[in-house]
Chains A and B, each alone.
Chain A
Amino acid sequence: MTEYEKILLTREKTRPTARDYILNLITDFTELHGDRRYGDDPALIGGIGFLDDMPVTVIGIEKGHDTGEKISRNFGAVHPEGYRKALRLMRQAEKFHRPVLTIVDTAGAYCGIGAEKRGQGEAIAENLMEMMSLRTPVLSLFIGEGGSGGALALAVADEIWMLSNAYYSVVSPESCANILWKDPEKAGEAASALKLSASDLRGFEVIERVIREPDGYSDGMAALKFYDRLLKEIRDRFRALLAVDGDKLLEHRYERFRKIGRVE
């Protein structure tokens, strides 16, 4: 499969979305709504529950499967109130010493009049700064699309795990081709030039793990096994991270980003 074919796969409507992961990984999931400032963004699901026996906060960007669901979820394009809801829930997690699992799947933060008026850039900027000082473990799971600042706003994490077909990029390959070569048809070339695949990102040390996907998600048994293994691995990682002293955790998180593009 080429890089671009993998990207097209992440946009398939049958591919599991954040909600599917929450249903399969979290028991007693209790959704918590709203940013307490403006509204409740349906593109971003937040809540609390158990990961096995461990209380956790989960925040996921939801794209929806069928057309109706996609429209009601705004195609997984988050507004400022979504990012502010996420920050509210992360601070709450910090207060109760719960680890935070973010599930990232978005083509990008929403571009629109309301989003701009309510400070899309400011909302993302605040998350980047505040997540750097959040004294509780944060793990980001990239399950499909990782579109630029809209994905990064939930991914200032201690670790990023990515599914093998997922991507994470500064720009969509279509926009990149359009801006640089005035030709959206060259998206395939842009996708390989951008080096946005899970294995490339592992090479750059931008992510910690590549999670092998099942051959398809329609085989119920294979999918169950996949979720079960993932659940245990995330739980074990959170256990290890919870044992790390708060100052060390933050030092490590800072260094994780500090080293990228360091000039001695």
Chain B
Amino acid sequence: MNLRDLFKKAENELEDSGGIRPEESNLFECPSCHEYPERSAIRENDSVCPICGHHFRMGARRHILMLSDGDGFEEYYADTESTNLLDFPGYEEKLKTAMEASGEKEGVVCGKTLIGGYPVMIFAMDPNFMMGSMGTVVGEKITRLFEDAVKEGLPVLGITVSGGARMQEGILSLMQMAKVSGAVKRHSEAGLLYITLLTNPTTGGVEASFAMQGDILIAEPDALIGFAGPRVIEQTLKEKLPKGFQRSEAVLSTGFLDGIVPRKTQREYLTRVLKIHQRPEEN
């Protein structure tokens, strides 16, 4: 990867969160503290604001590499691509745009990696691919990952970001919620560990299935986590939602998370949890 590619990717992730154009300045207004850190400083800090700690969205592959030991990541099912199963109007164009924006063939990256020396199967959804929407390929790749994890006797770590099921694949995308849940259940019955790391935002059909099915459920700070998105709730109730509603800190206080783990400490946290779950004969 050359320097130009690095710069290109950073534009996508940061521009998603609002702010000024790259040609105007290297400074970027953080939507949380409204200070102006340098783009390069944010990027070098794992896409976290160096001033206030605001977590910007991060591409799936970058997040996996951030957590992995050296070159420990081995990608699985990399060539699986979506097709327009329902002949839904405009879907091909949407897929093409998503591929360009994310540099990925689909909305989830899967594989096997090492974290702190412990082998783990990993999947990460990509915010730049139709906001991590779940279609049949996303469902299929995650299902296969759980099935292969059972075969290899390995834990699974899932990093979620999603606006929900992919409308353009209709009922077939809804069925992926049940399909993945079945694979999660089998993995669980095999006595294997599943950790989910929820990032901003994790909503809809993904939140209402495999995102909430982990043995250990952690989230990044200030991530939006919910079944219905806040706009939908506001339209239904015709009232403004309280500040902080559906954010990680609120979800933790209502008892639906085990903890909030910022990017800086995720590797250490996951290593510790994986270590605690090693079976005696493997120690």
Contacts and interface: CB of A to CB of B under 8 A. Distances in A.
B280 interface: no
**Which 3 A-B residue pairings sit nearest by Cβ, starting from the closest?**
A261-B136, A111-B228, A128-B181
Given A111-B236, A262-B140, A117 B209 contact: no
A116 B256 CA distance: 10
**Chain B interface mostly helix, strand, loop or mixed?**
helix
Nearest to B210: A125
Contact of A128 (B169, B173, B178, B246): B178
A129 interface: yes
B76 interface: no
Interface in B75-112: 80, 85-86, 88-90
Nearest to A116: B226
Chain B CB within 10 Å, residue with most, of A113, A171, A201? A171
A39 interface: no
A124 B227 contact: yes
Interface of B: 80, 85-86, 88-90, 135-137, 139-140, 143, 165-167, 169-179, 181-186, 188-189, 203-205, 207-213, 225-228, 232-233, 236-237, 241, 245-246, 254-256
Contacts of A171: 165, 167
Contacts of A152: 174, 177-178
Contact of B171 (A118, A179, A204): A204
A249 to B, nearest CB: 13
20 contacts: A112-B237, A113-B241, A115-B227, A117-B254, A120-B208, A128-B178, A128-B208, A129-B185, A132-B178, A148-B205, A152-B177, A153-B208, A156-B181, A156-B182, A193-B88, A194-B171, A195-B86, A196-B171, A201-B171, A254-B182
Interface string A148-160: 1100110110000
Contacts of B176: 260-261
Nearest to B79: A263
A119 B255 CA distance: 9
A65 B227 CA distance: 27
A214 interface: no
A192 to B, nearest CB: 10
A119 B256 contact: yes
B167 A180 contact: yes
A179 B167 contact: yes
Interface residues of A, number: 48
A79 to B, nearest CB: 11
B223 to A, nearest CB: 13
Contacts of A50: none
B63 to A, nearest CB: 22
A106 B178 CA distance: 18
Contacts of A109: 208, 227
Nearest to A148: B174
A104 to B, nearest CB: 13
Interface of A: 109, 111-113, 115-122, 124-126, 128-130, 132-133, 148-149, 152-153, 155-156, 168-171, 176, 179-180, 193-196, 201, 204, 206, 253-254, 257-258, 260-263
Q: Which of A117, A121, A262 has the most CB of B within 10 A?
A: A121
Contacts of A261: 85, 135-137, 139-140, 172, 175-176, 179
Given A121-B227, A129-B185, A193-B89, A260 B208 contact: no
Contacts of B227: 109, 111, 115-116, 120-121, 124, 149
A156 B181 CA distance: 10
Nearest to A180: B167
Contact of A258 (B85, B143, B177, B210): B143
